[in-house]
Amino acid sequence: MPTSVKRSLRVPLLAGALALLPIAGASAAVPQVQASTPETFAQLSQPSPDVKMTPEYAQSVARMAYIWGWPLVNMHNRRATITQAPQPSLMHGVIPVAPMNRLSMLTGYIKPTESFIACPNQDVAYGLGYFALDKSPAVLQVPDFGDRFWVYAMYDGRTDQFGKVGKPYGTKPGFYLLVGPNWKGTPPKGIAGVIRSNTEFANIVPRIFMDDTDEDRAAIQPLISQVVAYPLAEFDGKMKTVDYSKLPTLGGAADTSGGETQWVVPEKFFDQLGKVLDQVPPLPGEEALYAQFRQLLAVADKDPAIKKALVQAAVDTDKSVIKQFLQWQHNGVPAGNGWNRSKNNAQWGVDYFDRTGTARSNLLDNRPTETQYFYTDLDSDGKKLRGDGLYAVTFAKGQLPPVNGFWSLTLYNDKHLFHLNDLERFSLGTKNKTLKYNDDGSLTLYAGASSPGKDKESNWLPAPDGDFSLYIRAYWGKQGILDGSWQPPKVVKIK
CATH code (residue 342): 2.60.120.600
Final residue in a domain of this structure, among 204, 231, 247: 247
Same domain? 243 vs 334: no
Q: What is the mean pLDDT of residues 147-162?
A: 98
Residues 341 and 194 in one domain: no
The 10s digit of each residue's pLDDT in 199-227 is: 999 999 999 999 999 999 999 999 999 99
Q: Is the pLDDT of residue 23 over 60?
A: no
Same domain, 199 and 338: no
**pLDDT value of position 180:** 98
Q: Is residue 138 part of a domain?
A: yes
- Is 250's pLDDT higher than 60? yes
Which DSSP letter does residue 110 get?
P
- Reply yes or no on whether the pLDDT at 15 is more than 70: no
Q: Is 140 inside a domain boundary? A: yes
- How far apart (Å, rounded) are the C-alpha atoms in residues 366 and 204? 11
Is there a domain that residue 384 lies in?
yes
Q: Check whether residue 341 and residue 454 sit in a common domain.
A: yes
What is the total count of domains within the chain? 2
For 456-493, the pLDDT digits (tens) are: 999 999 999 999 999 999 999 999 999 999 999 999 99
Under DSSP, is residue 300 helix (H, G, I), strand (E, B) or coil?
A: helix
| pLDDT at 36 (0 to 100) | 77
**pLDDT beyond 70 at 168:** yes
> Of 247, 263, 282, at which residue does a domain stop?
247
- Buried/exposed 150-168: b ≥16 CB within 10 Å, e otherwise: bbbbbbbbbbbbbbbbbbb
Determine the average pLDDT of the residues in 397-402: 98
Same-domain check for residues 478 and 383: yes
| Alpha carbons 472 and 477: distance in angstroms, whole number | 12
Provide mean pLDDT across the span 316-334.
96
Same domain, 239 and 349: no
Inside any domain, residue 465:
yes
The neighbouring-strand residues paired with 127 are 105
CATH number at residue 100: 2.60.40.1610
Tell which of 197, 226, 247 closes a domain: 247
453 shares its domain with 340: yes
State yes or no: pLDDT of 25 exceeds 70.
no
Pairing between β-strand 390-395 and β-strand 443-448 as defined by DSSP bridges: antiparallel
Q: Are residues 241 and 361 in the same domain?
A: no
Is the same domain home to 226 and 358? no
Q: Per the domain annotation, does 96 fall within a domain? A: yes
Residue 454 falls inside a structural domain: yes
**Residue 104 belongs to what domain range?**
88-247
339/441 same-domain check: yes
CA distance 318 to 251: 28
Chain centroid to CA 26: how far?
66
Phi, psi of 403 (to 5 degrees): -135, 155
Using alpha carbons, select from 335, 336, 397, 325 the residue that is nearest to residue 372.
Answer: 335
Domain annotation covers residue 114: yes
Residues 224 and 103 in one domain: yes
Report the chain's mean pLDDT, rounded to a whole number: 94
In the chain, how many H helices and how many E strands? Answer: 8, 21
Q: 381 lies in a domain?
A: yes
**CB 142 within 8 Å of CB 331:** no
- Distance between CA atoms of residues 387 and 318, nearest Å: 28
What is the amino acid identity at position 370? E
Nearest to 401 by CA among 356, 341, 351: 341
Q: Are residues 240 and 349 in the same domain?
A: no
Which percentage of the chain shows pLDDT scores above 70? 94
What is this structure's pTM? 0.91
